[in-house]
A and B are shown apart, each in its own frame.
Chain A
């Protein structure tokens, strides 16, 4: 029982450590902002520029 609990705790610690490593890498190398600036926003801007709007002053 104790061994099983230790195993679960070890796995949990490994998962948490893995999550920390992954998120800290994204954070430190500013990966999310690079993705948004160079990929997502240009794609969205293209879409926004192609939108048709009824801009008559009423």
Chain B
């Protein structure tokens, strides 16, 4: 039941609502932005209730950032002064605004619950890392930290309760590219200035640039690297190894892991990694500590599987970037180690159950296509799913990255637990689908069918040598199976090669020429955001 006062105000101010403007042909989402810079003249009016939800979420995130500075005022200031990537975090508020344009009701509520979980976790992590960074003077926990490659799921490290695993690349390179598209080109140029090939994966190039620019925080006594999914990544690992100059152990998990023979190899690899950490840090592995965190991961994965059942229907208020970003951060970076994420999951699933019972249609019932997003997404265009929804009514039901390891981990038997962890880790970010063999790449059609999708958006990272070879085969299969199919070209972390605008045009061309449809919001079809964060 709507409050009569807010209903009256909403009626009076409805002309300020960009969704109303687009519906009535008098404006839309893009009207309130400055051209090129993407800086909004004013924030989105979503009606009294939803504007207050967004405002309170903004205040809540502001509080987390204030707490970060209060926890470690000097290290944070030193960090902003020392590291270029720290300056980019100042764009976080604009980033959140971009992600949730056009969100209303339960979609907005869940989106902000998810985002705040990420913000509160990330701000604590930044304060912790900077307070103990040797480049900034070090701290009491420096030697208890374990830097590890970010594509290695850190759950198995929960068996060392006195140590703090830190995915090394996440803060200075990966998450920050989501927030600021202008940052990584600088690091890519640093790498290429040494003659490193310009046609490798831009993520690897950017990591190499961060390494050469000495922009990785220096923490820990030993480093866990991994065989990342391509040759360029492995080269990057070598540069990081030399530059960071710590004893390291490469946790080389099986790539072609569908074959049963691969699991014992990966299991032994995890055992060896645990032994390496025991020796380097003088700690003993504690299985009970692992089981405690594995219970959280299992609960999160159980809830995730229930969410998937709702995703298969038209009544899920959780989709698009709200789903993807939370799952990616919650799985790859938190990985069962923070209670906060379990609590958020419990709350979110309750909202989803209620929405399903009420047959709630999200996004005002304007969804026209249900799409599965496959392939590694452009990190510099995180709000792309929001744009597809607002402009063309294409809901991203699920993203490839969200299908990462969802097997349960034994919480009673160490032997079984380590095997479960190996399988869980083999299905990590990119590892499973992008390089895990043809069957895993080609699984897109089964996933799309299971989730009742009529469309597949295939991310085409132009510098990914592994995926370039499958281009024509995927096109042929889409035709045979009758899916709407769009290749969305991008250059992962380099917005100069293929801009956000170019990416949008891939979809615009298909939707207008092939599907012969009209946009929901014409102001979003073509615009310039080349100077935006």
Interface on A for B, CB 8 Å cutoff? 23-24, 27-30, 32-34, 36-38, 40-41, 44-45, 47-48, 53-55, 57-58
Chain A residues with Cβ below 8 Å from B212 are: 53, 55, 57
Known: A30-B40, A36-B90, A55-B193. 15 other contacts (CB 8 A): A23-B59, A28-B42, A30-B97, A33-B94, A36-B91, A37-B94, A37-B533, A40-B90, A41-B90, A48-B87, A53-B212, A55-B190, A55-B194, A55-B214, A58-B243
Whether A37 pairs with B39 at a CB distance below 8 angstroms is: yes
Cα(A47)–Cα(B94), bound, Å: 22
Cα(A7)–Cα(B72), bound, Å: 38
Interface on B for A, CB 8 Å cutoff? 37, 39-43, 55, 58-59, 80-81, 84, 87, 90-91, 93-94, 97, 190, 193-194, 212-214, 239, 242-243, 533
Whether B40 pairs with A54 at a CB distance below 8 angstroms is: no
Cα(A47)–Cα(B90), bound, Å: 15
Q: Which residue of A lies closest to B38 (CB)?
A: A37
**Distance between B302 CB and nearest chain A CB, rounded to angstroms:** 37
A-B contact pairs, 22 of them (CB 8 A): A23-B55, A23-B59, A27-B43, A27-B59, A29-B42, A29-B43, A30-B40, A30-B42, A33-B39, A33-B40, A33-B93, A33-B97, A37-B39, A37-B94, A44-B80, A47-B81, A48-B87, A53-B214, A55-B190, A55-B194, A57-B194, A57-B242
Residue from A28, A30, A38, A54 having most chain B Cβ neighbours under 10 A: A30
Chain B interface mostly: helix
Cα(A13)–Cα(B129), bound, Å: 39
Q: Which residue of A lies closest to B194 (CB)?
A: A57
Whether B37 pairs with A55 at a CB distance below 8 angstroms is: no
Sorted from nearest, which 4 A-B pairs have the closest CB atoms?
A44-B87, A48-B84, A55-B212, A33-B94
Cα(A42)–Cα(B84), bound, Å: 12
**Distance between A45 CB and nearest chain B CB, rounded to angstroms:** 7
Chain A residues with Cβ below 8 Å from B239 are: 57
Residue from B80, B90, B194, B533 having most chain A Cβ neighbours under 10 A: B90
Cα(A57)–Cα(B243), bound, Å: 8
Q: Which residue of A lies closest to B95 (CB)?
A: A33
Whether A24 pairs with B37 at a CB distance below 8 angstroms is: no
Chain B residues with Cβ below 8 Å from A41 are: 87, 90-91
Chain A residues with Cβ below 8 Å from B242 are: 57-58
Chain A residues with Cβ below 8 Å from B193 are: 55
Assess A32 versus B93: contact at CB under 8 Å? Given A55-B213, A57-B212.
Answer: yes
Whether B37 pairs with A37 at a CB distance below 8 angstroms is: yes
Chain A residues with Cβ below 8 Å from B243 are: 58
